[in-house]
Structure 1
Amino acid sequence: MSYKLNGASIDYTKIKTIQIADFPNRAAYVWGPMAPTFNNQLKDQFASHTKLQQVKRNGDLKIEGEITAYTQRNKSVSAEGYAAQTELAMTVNVRFTNNKDHHQDFERQFTATQSYETTQSLAAVQQQLVQQMIDDLVDQIFNATVANW
């Protein structure tokens, strides 16, 4: 194993390529920029934090999945009985295949949440909060797939 300060633990003598499929948005509620932003950031994370070459097919590692949920719910109630905070949640289903060691294969869901005050409109905070959730999800997926401590 070779360990790097960025958290990746990849044996580059065995693992040289990664295939990252675009994740379609299959959530009931859809915000247009979410899927392209997520897909680009996931690919960028692996490009900037590993030496793996990204390929279209037959990768040593393969990541695929879909965005399965994008929801909002009341998180807290004010003394007057009204919603004080709303929580946004984004969930992605990930299928990871390690073609060099199938014991590391998994299918798992990852979720990230962010809250905002109900005095703000979703439209006003959505871009920032979705970006924060994508940052969190990309880190979770990166750590689960190539940071095997």
Structure 2
Amino acid sequence: MRSKAVVLLCLFFLSGCGPYSFSPGGKLSSDLKTITINNFVMNAAGGPANLSTTFTETLKEYFQRNTRLQMKPGGDGDLVLEGAITGYDVTPQAPTASDKAGLNRLTIAVTVRFTNNRDETGNFEQTFSFFKDFPQTQTLNQVEGQLVQPILDQIVLDIFGKTAGDW
């Protein structure tokens, strides 16, 4: 009898969650069918030569995996994402007693223009950035391969959350 009450109580609470979705792409209108993701350009000094290509492809792949939208080249999709990598900076962090940085921080910034060709109220231009720290005893060349992709992945998640996520 007690287990029936628990089940009924759970069903009661879950029934109030009908219109909400925790799946990716939760706030995309059903009339949206296509997305154009233009190649992001490199407007920052430094960084790997293929950084803008890597970022663009990571963004495209994420949207393809996590939405029902079809990629449409040419800039005339229902949704359009474009922009530039505007920052690639290494800064010292965590000073030590010997006036040397204990850590260095790699920060990547991407400025994104989002256009919803069906509903202009969601359009925006915003800079997204993320960082990873690395020990002062290592050079950027030694750790760059380990740091760049996780930073780009987080920026892609942030962009997705702002444009198509349900949060």
TM category (shorter chain) comes to over 0.9
In the alignment, residue 113 of structure 1 is paired with which amino acid?
F
Distance 2:134 2:49 in 1: 20
TM-score (norm 2): 0.83
Superposition deviation, residue 56 in structure 1: 0.9
- Tell me how far 1:80 sits from its aligned partner: 1.8
The DSSP-based 3-state class of the residue aligned with 1:66 is strand
Please state how far the C-alpha of 1:83 moved relative to its aligned partner.
Answer: 1.3
Mark the structure with the bigger radius of gyration.
2
What CA distance in whole angstroms lies between the structure 2 residues aligned with 1:123 and 1:108?
29
Q: CA RMSD in A?
A: 1.5
Hey, what's the Cα distance between the residues in 2 that align with 1:64 and 1:3?
27
- CA distance in 1 between counterparts of 2:165 and 2:101 reads 39
Instruction: Tell whether 2:87 aligns with 1:69.
Output: yes
Is 2:111 the partner of 1:93?
Answer: yes
| Deviation of the 1:2 alpha carbon | 7.5
Q: Does 1:41 align with 2:58?
A: yes
Whole-Å separation in 2 of the counterparts to 1:55 and 1:37: 19
Percentage of identical aligned residues = 35
Where in structure 1 do 4 or more consecutive aligned residues deviate above 2 Å? 1-9
- Of residues 118-127 and 45-54 in structure 1, the stretch that sits farther from structure 2 once superposed is 118-127
> Counterparts in 2 of 1:1-149, with a 5 A limit?
3-6=21-24, 8-12=26-30, 14-57=31-74, 58-149=76-167
The answer on whether the counterparts of 1:3 and 1:10 sit within 8 Å (CA) in structure 2 is no
Q: Which runs of 5+ in 2 are unaligned?
A: 1-18
Residue 8 to residue 128, structure 1, CA distance change in 2 (3 Å):
farther
